[in-house]
Each structure stands twice: as C-alpha cells, then as structure tokens.
Structure 1
Amino acid sequence: MEKADVVIPNILKLDDSDERLWVPRSNSVWFRPLLLSVSQGYFVNLLRVRKSGILSRHRHAGPVHATVLKGRWHYLEHPWWATEGGYAFEPPGDIHALEVPEDVEEMVTMFHVTGAYIYVDVDGNPTGVEDVFSKLQKAKEHYEKVGLGADFVEHFVR
C-alpha cells in the first residue's frame, strides 16, 4: 500500500511551534523531522542551534541541500557563509566543520540529506554515523518521552 503525501503546515512559524516536535541532539541543538524517507535513504529536517561554536566535523556520503531560515553559519574550510534566506548545496565527500558565530542567538536551517553523514575527528577518522534510520530512532524515543507516542514519527516516514 502506498503512503500518502506529507503536508506539514506552518514550518516557518519558528517561534510558535510546539517544542515537543523538536528532537534534542544535545543541550543546545535540536532537529525537527519533516520527511524520513526510509525507502529512498534520505531525510529532510529543520536543524535548530542555540549556541555559538563548532557544531560538528563531518563528511557527507551523498548530496546535501540547505536553506537557512534564521541566523547564519559557515564551514571553517570554506570562504562562503550560509545566511538567512540563502541556499547552499554540498556535494558528497568533503570534510567540513559547521560553525555558528557568537553573534547568532539562534540558527535554523532546513537540510535535505541524502545518505549518511559521518562524524570525523580532526584527522578525518570516523567517530559516528547519522542517517535516516538513526534519525527515525531518535525521533521515536523522543516522541514517546514527551507524550506524543512513538508512533507520532510515522507522520514523517515514507
């Protein structure tokens, strides 16, 4: 049986969203799933960061599309900045470290990630992996914990 379309209203109303929808990754970093495509191996989510500094050093196994909804960020290894209202495309394979500058109180970016991203240390050695399946598991656990129920994540799975 084919699953229905996914339609999520008001994703740009960042200040009015139900906090339970945001899945914590750390004390100051959350993601909000929009689409978890287990059949195609990609995910679309909002990433919210409420701290400055380096978020992660990583490499992508597939292409990444990013649209900045609030704030700004950049990769230490590149001269460009991803700014509010802007779009960035990242080809697979490059290792980079995402930094949110000190003058940004909150950054929110919509990421469309195909495949996995591999966390690496300063020497490029893998330290962890995140993909649609790990996102799905984290979301299930979080939604169960906050009272929405583990099955709530099924709204986003295709």
Structure 2
Amino acid sequence: MPAEKDEHARMPYQFPMPVDALPEIVVPDAVPTDDRLWVPQAENVWFRPLCLNRSQGYWTNLLKVRKAGVLSRHRHPQSVHGFVLKGRWRYLEHDWVATEGSYVFEPPGETHTLVVPDDVEEMITFFQVNGVMYYVDPWGKNLGYEDVFTKIDMCRAHFERVGLGADYVNAFIR
C-alpha cells in the first residue's frame, strides 16, 4: 500500500460514502461489564451479539461459558471462524486445543462436539458463524438448529426481559 508523503496524508476521504452502503457497527463495550448484554443460550452459556447480518445469513458474537463440560454437538454447512479471547476449549473429534490467542477455521461440513475442560473457569471466544448450526446426536440425527434469525429472536426476547427493550438488538442487525 503506497504511503502518502504530503500534507494530505492525514486528511479524511473527501467524498460521500455510497448511497446504498449500510452503516457501520461499532461496539465499544464488546466484552461488557453489564451482564444484561450477554444473551443466555443454555445453562452456563451466553453470547454477546456483535453483528447479526440478515442479508448474508451470518452472525458474529462472543461466546461465554462459565462451567466445564460438553457445550454442544453441531454441524456447519458453511465455514466458521473463531478466535479465543479467554480460557480454552476443544472438540472431541480432534486432537488440538484452542487456547487464548488461537484462531480456528472450521470448514463447511465439519461436525464436532465442543468441550470446555474441567479446570477452565471461564471461556470467551469470538465466532463468525456463516449460515446454520445444526445440532445433532452422535449419529447425525438433527436435534435443532440456529441461524441469524433465531439469534435475533433470542436477543429481542432477552433484551426485553432485562429492561433494555426488544429494539436494543437493532444496533447489531444489518
């Protein structure tokens, strides 16, 4: 990338953004101190929505787990990206462990069982999930699913329940 070497180097771009471009999302308290911003997903499991993209069918969130054990067995028909911020976890189907600072790419078609080890008090991981998560039993029988729309519904109900209002989720929807 060429560097500007004149007095315009620190000048902002001088033209308007595209008329049809969506507004950006900035979440200054991505790891919040206000527990109301963590949406319960299961016992001892919460997520913090960051971007819920309806038009492209993906979501980004922080996943927080505060108890060791099996979180879920699921399949991804599209890719998933993860970055571990705190703690560690692994999949029963693989021999690697995702530790603080680890990046994980999960290819389309991957089916795995997320486990948080017994000695981890809290795990927080950033995930970008594209498409659907299918929850399955050990033999692949469908037990349920999540997609960006079920995530939005969970957020609306939770934010209403905790006094932030159902529309609070709109800040994360694109």
Shorter-chain TM-score: what band?
Answer: over 0.9
Query: How far apart are the structure 2 equivalents of 1:2 and 1:145?
Result: 32
* Correspondence 1:9-158 to 2 at 5 A: 9-11=28-30, 14=31, 17-158=33-174
Structure 2: gaps of 5 or more residues:
1-19
User: Once the two structures are superposed, what CA deviation does each residue of 1:17-44 show, in whole Å capped at 9, x if it has no partner?
Assistant: 2101000012200000000000110000
* TM-score (normalised: structure 1): 0.95
Larger strand fraction of residues:
1
* TM-score (normalised: structure 2): 0.86
Which SS does the other structure have where 2:158 is aligned?
Answer: helix
Query: How far apart are the structure 1 equivalents of 2:149 and 2:77?
Result: 15
Match of 1:3 in 2: 22
Which SS does the other structure have where 1:103 is aligned?
Answer: coil
Cα RMSD (Å): 1.1
The count of corresponding residues between Structure 1 and Structure 2 is 155
Structure number with greater CO (CA < 8 Å, separation at least 6) is 1
Offset, 1:2? 4.7
Query: How far apart are the structure 2 equivalents of 1:78 and 1:23?
Result: 28
Which SS does the other structure have where 1:48 is aligned?
Answer: strand
Spell out structure 1 runs of 4+ moving beyond 6 A.
none
Structure 1: gaps of 5 or more residues:
none
Which structure has the bigger radius of gyration?
2
